[in-house]
Chain A
Amino acid sequence: DGGITQSPKYLFRKEGQNVTLSCEQNLNHDAMYWYRQDPGQGLRLIYYSQIVNDFQKGDIAEGYSVSREKKESFPLTVTSAQKNPTAFYLCASSIRLGAMNTEAFFGQGTRLTVV
């Protein structure tokens, strides 16, 4: 089945540690996104990528880093510089070019907790 997979589902991090969240898609989508959602809040864009080896900062990129070495994969690293990393992280993908009304498909999310 085609889809977008995030792992792990739950992640606990000690303060000062970097952690990497995985996001893989087999939908052949060009664009991939990372969002953060805090309780009772909307989704905020962290980073997005339109093509391999290219990515752009979203609204809250500080303390995060990404890579896009393969079309299928867009891992997110939460660094120790991120002051309040506890949140629900959602990865999404969509077709990039030429199509109208190209919706985004989401993974099931990763709940990150700093302990």
Chain B
Amino acid sequence: RKEVEQDPGPFNVPEGATVAFNCTYSNSASQSFFWYRQDCRKEPKLLMSVYSSGNEDGRFTAQLNRASQYISLLIRDSKLSDSATYLCVVNLGDTGFQKLVFGTGTRLLVSP
């Protein structure tokens, strides 16, 4: 089983739609979680961290479910500019070190 798994998509949605991605991780000792956004042929950039209590940043909401070992990203009112690949990232290390593991990404295409 892969350490971090995502549905590769693509998810094709119209502008204004709500879309959700899930990501599962295999190591129950994982410490921290992130969503990154990667545009075509560019480096990944942090979208948001994922906190145990869930967190929201504008149109984006991230949730963590430790019992089921998955994190989710919800995007409301999709914009054309949201088209990108969204990478789930899990820190498999403990407080002594970090090992960041990336999922393969979920591609989102928002159309007019």
> Which A residues are closer than 8 A to B by beta carbons?
31, 33, 35, 41-43, 45, 48, 50, 88, 90, 92, 94, 96-98, 100-109
Chain A residues lying within 8 Å of B46, measured Cβ to Cβ, are 103-105
List of A residues within 8 angstroms of B51 by Cβ? 101
Q: Please, which residues of chain A bring their CB within 8 A of the CB of B34?
A: 101, 103
Write the residues of chain B forming the contact surface with A, with a CB cutoff of 8 angstroms. Answer: 31-32, 34, 41-46, 49, 51, 87, 89, 91, 95-105
- For B41, the chain A residues whose CB sits under 8 A away are 88
Question: Given A101-B32, A106-B44, list of 18 further CB < 8 A pairs?
Answer: A31-B97, A42-B87, A42-B102, A42-B103, A43-B87, A48-B98, A50-B98, A90-B44, A96-B98, A98-B95, A101-B34, A102-B91, A103-B46, A104-B89, A104-B100, A106-B45, A107-B43, A109-B42
A-side contacts of B103, CB under 8 Å:
42
Expressed in whole angstroms, the minimum distance between the Cβ of A99 and any Cβ of chain B is 9
CB contacts (< 8 Å) of B91 on chain A: these are 102
Q: A48 CB to closest chain B CB, in angstroms?
A: 7
Is B98's CB under 8 angstroms from A31's CB? Answer: yes
Contact at B31–A43, with CB atoms within 8 Å?
no
Give the CA-CA distance A90 to B96 in the complex, in Å.
24
Q: Give the residues in chain B near A41, CB-CB below 8 Å.
A: 104
CA distance A49 to B44 in the complex (A): 19
Contact between A94 and B100, CB atoms less than 8 A apart: yes
Cα-based distance from A68 to B91 in the complex (angstroms): 22
A108 to B97, CA, bound (A): 24
Q: Which residues of A contact B105 (CB under 8 A)?
A: 42
Q: Contact at B87–A33, with CB atoms within 8 Å?
A: no
